[in-house]
Amino acid sequence: MFEKLQHKWKVNGINLLLIITTFAIGGSACGIIGRKIMVLIGMEKGIAWVLMYFLILTLIWPLCVLITSIPFGQFNFFKTYIGKILNRFNPNHSSKKTIDLKEDDTDNLPIGKIDKPNDLIHLAIFASGAGSNAKKIITHFKNNSSIKIVLLVSNKPGVGALQIAKDNNIETLIIEREQFFNGDGYCPVLKQHGVSYIILAGFLWKIPLSLIKEWPSSIINIHPALLPKYGGKGMYGSKVHEAVIANKEIESGISIHYVDEVYDNGEIIRQVSCAVSETDTPETLAQKIHELEHANYPQVIEAIIKSKKVVK
């Protein structure tokens, strides 16, 4: 039962315990306060008393659990939880649709239109490694009211990026090569999550045409060099920095760009440069590049989404 609740509420074991404790204490407080209110009203016990008592409990329960949730650090959870309950009483509320990925019509599902209240923009992050960029992006959008990270996709089980996502209660998906390149590219899964933008954060596989067609100008990548220099197949991570040092370049930097059918070829959104000194090594240059990535990538992503235009 507890595992089902963890999955349903997308929380870890400690938070689940704190949530259940909040329910218990808040509910008890609600009952005590409700009875005291009934004493003050002075109504004789009977059917009317019972109805009034339950009405009072219904009205004060949200306040009781919200107040109780504060010292347990669960205020945001209960705020969302109560909001969903109240939303069910909204006459304009429609039930969430359940999507069966086995159905033949999943390819025609509308991008970014599933379970997205108030035009909330859903992002999926693709990562293959430790996830330092993914972590910065997740942190940047953690309390954003209009943009939400809903999925982290990786082609490598056990990498740091997956753990970062789990620590932040973000769903994860491990993909396999055959389905990604020769199958549906996991498009139905991304559509089920209502993904509007795909963000590549150290993802080492080439994006298949199936995803590019479904998300045109909505797949964004960051490359650790000033494109078109040092781009293309096989140019990633330390290999880029080694090539820059070997060619005695006086500057390097980052290129944030849209993804198309060719490696590192899509339209450039923003480039930021840094100096390369004679004493730099691939390791020290990598550190400079990481600092530029962390300082710029999340902000550029947000600017793109908000403006829906290329950021110069």
Q: Which of 182, 193, 185, 258 is nearest to 219 (CA)?
A: 258
pLDDT for res 311: 41
Active site residues: 223
State the distance between the two ends of the chain, measured CA to CA, in whole angstroms: 51
Q: What CATH number was assigned to the domain covering residues 107-307? A: 3.40.50.170
**Token pair 């290329």 is at which residue?**
310
Q: Which of 158, 142, 130, 96 is nearest to 237 (CA)?
A: 130
- Give Cα 252 to chain centroid, integer Å: 30
> Mutual orientation of helices 13-41 and 47-69 as an angle, nearest 10°?
140
For 134, the token pair is 């993914």
Q: Residue 17 contacts by C-beta under 8 Å, 6 or more apart in sequence?
A: none
Q: Are 143 and 298 in contact (CB under 8 A)?
A: no
Buried b (16+ CB within 10 A) or exposed e, 72-84: bebbebbeebbee
Convert the pLDDT of each residue in 3-50 to its tens digit: 667 555 545 678 788 899 999 998 999 999 989 998 898 888 889 888
pLDDT for res 221: 97
For 216, the token pair is 């045109």
Domain ranges of the chain: 2-87, 107-307
Residue 46 and residue 141: Cα distance in Å, rounded? 52
pLDDT for res 149: 96
Coil/strand/helix, residue 152: strand
Convert the pLDDT of each residue in 197-209 to its tens digit: 999 999 999 999 9
- Tell me which residues of the chain have a pLDDT lower than 70: 1-4, 6-12, 80, 84, 87-118, 309-312
pTM (predicted TM-score)? 0.62
pLDDT for res 95: 36
